[in-house]
A and B are shown apart, each in its own frame.
Chain A
């Protein structure tokens, strides 16, 4: 569904991605793991069109979308839940959600999608008029996921969805991710919680200083000695 081919990205002189190639199959969870600064967020942003790659190709559903601006990639059905949730703090929960339907593909059915999202997150239904900045971390993550769903994506890229959340809430977030996969969405999961994301993922890539160094099924990588040493503490 999504193919990334030899993608390189520079921030000034610093190379963030070096010839990254990967394939994200439809209706599967693809995990991308790696240390801080390995280039995981850069990869998501380059795919989404927030950063412009210096070379390489991004193909989505057979179409070359390399360097497309994000309002066009989102309109194609590529959603993302950014690291740190990135809500609009002085807008209400409902306004945040409605902003998720900014792209043309989502506008027509925005009302119905909103009902779906509120049914999925009953906690948000109760807090619709509350300012997003006043919510708890877990609730904010639900708004972020809900806002992404408002754009009616076929593919969602999650950037560190469990970062900074209480353990019980982390469980909720992973359950939601599993539910979304069960609904037939294609997911890319960037996570510092390597064990959880490899357990969940059909396949995974290991990113090190901007390069893909390992690729396999989630189970393979969980059993891999190098991965265990580097990311799972033995």
Chain B
């Protein structure tokens, strides 16, 4: 606990000071890292806490991004109203998938397949929604990079950095708090043993559904950020299976079901990915898949040596160190 608190405090301070210390490049890496931390936290609620595997979370990113971006492009209404819309759309989608899966007892891997299938449907669907640009993409009007317009979320990297920083801190605090509520315990009970949870009277169906809906809604907010930060949305890209996978690497490597695991995982993985790219570029190799290979090898190594993830391993080491 003390280790977690010290770690949390140090991360918070470093995070707040980062824009003054970091170059623009480093800042952009930090923004991507925090984005993966944020969506990793959102995914972790569903899988880490409640034990329901989703391999289609890119769908909620995409739905959130398209909802808020579409509203902005066509009506000029900014993300403060776009975000609730994004959340509503994603929650409805999540509730639909959850209802189908849980009502018909689709469990484990089969439920994960269902989530992949829906993400793929949605990708193909958006390829054909011409109003939203179809496969040609949707583009947000690019604003002043130097100004700070928090109402319309138009501005430079420093503004975006603080926005995603606050979002990540908030979702981490939310995760911490959720784990201590009755709902949080009921999720863990279902994760540990769904049958036993049912036997003690946990309303399993409703509780699992809540996890999916909350995770979907929070992920959609990540999508809103994505849309306003990158200003371009392509169905092929935002709904991609590879994104769904990339989103879950941080919580898996950091430590599923823990509050700080997704954060630690993302802060390790994204910079490492960038470093790999730099090294590869320095070596003159121009193979685009090398980063994925490095991630793959890393995932295997972590799961082999630290099956619980980096963060639980670190806390255990610290606890051992204190005792000696």
Does B185 contact A82, Cβ atoms closer than 8 Å? Answer: no
Bound: A89/B189 CA distance, A: 9
User: Could you give, for residues 81-104 of chain A, a 1 whenever the CB lies within 8 Å of some chain B CB and a 0 otherwise?
Assistant: 010001111110001001110110
- List A contacts of B195 (CB < 8 A): 50, 82, 86
- List B contacts of A80 (CB < 8 A): 199
- List B contacts of A73 (CB < 8 A): 201
Does A151 contact B201, Cβ atoms closer than 8 Å? Answer: yes
Whether A151 touches B185, Cβ cut-off 8 Å, given contacts A82-B195, A89-B192, is: no
Partner of B188 from A48, A50, A69, A88 at Cβ < 8 Å: A88
Question: How close is B206's CB to chain A, nearest CB, in angstroms?
Answer: 8
Partner of B196 from A74, A86, A90 at Cβ < 8 Å: A86
Within 188-238 of B, Cβ neighbours of A (below 8 Å) are at: 188-189, 192-193, 195-205
- List B contacts of A88 (CB < 8 A): 188-189, 192-193, 196-197
- List A contacts of B189 (CB < 8 A): 88, 91, 99, 102
Closest B residue by C-beta to A99: B189
- List A contacts of B196 (CB < 8 A): 82, 86-88
Bound: A73/B202 CA distance, A: 11
Closest B residue by C-beta to A98: B185
Question: How close is B183's CB to chain A, nearest CB, in angstroms?
Answer: 10
Closest A residue by C-beta to B206: A71
Question: How close is A100's CB to chain B, nearest CB, in angstroms?
Answer: 5
Whether A102 touches B186, Cβ cut-off 8 Å, given contacts A86-B193, A88-B192, A89-B192, is: yes
Total A-B residue pairs with C-beta atoms closer than 8 Å?
64
Does B192 contact A102, Cβ atoms closer than 8 Å? Answer: no
Question: How close is B87's CB to chain A, nearest CB, in angstroms?
Answer: 27
Bound: A48/B204 CA distance, A: 14
B182 interfacial contact with A, CB 8 Å: yes
Partner of B185 from A48, A69, A99 at Cβ < 8 Å: A99
Does A71 contact B201, Cβ atoms closer than 8 Å? Answer: yes
With a 10 A CB-CB cut-off, give which of B186, B188, B205 has the most chain A CB atoms.
Answer: B188
Partner of A75 from B186, B201, B205 at Cβ < 8 Å: B201
- List B contacts of A75 (CB < 8 A): 201
What are the nearest 9 A-B pairs in CB distance?
A74-B201, A86-B196, A88-B192, A103-B201, A71-B203, A71-B201, A102-B202, A102-B201, A70-B198
**Chain A residues packing against B (C-beta within 8 Å):** 48, 50, 69-71, 73-75, 80, 82, 86-91, 95, 98-100, 102-103, 147-148, 151
Contacts A86-B193, A86-B195, A89-B193 known; 20 new A-B pairs at CB < 8 A = A48-B199, A50-B198, A50-B199, A69-B203, A70-B198, A74-B199, A74-B200, A75-B201, A86-B199, A87-B193, A87-B196, A88-B188, A88-B192, A91-B188, A91-B189, A95-B185, A99-B186, A102-B201, A103-B201, A147-B200
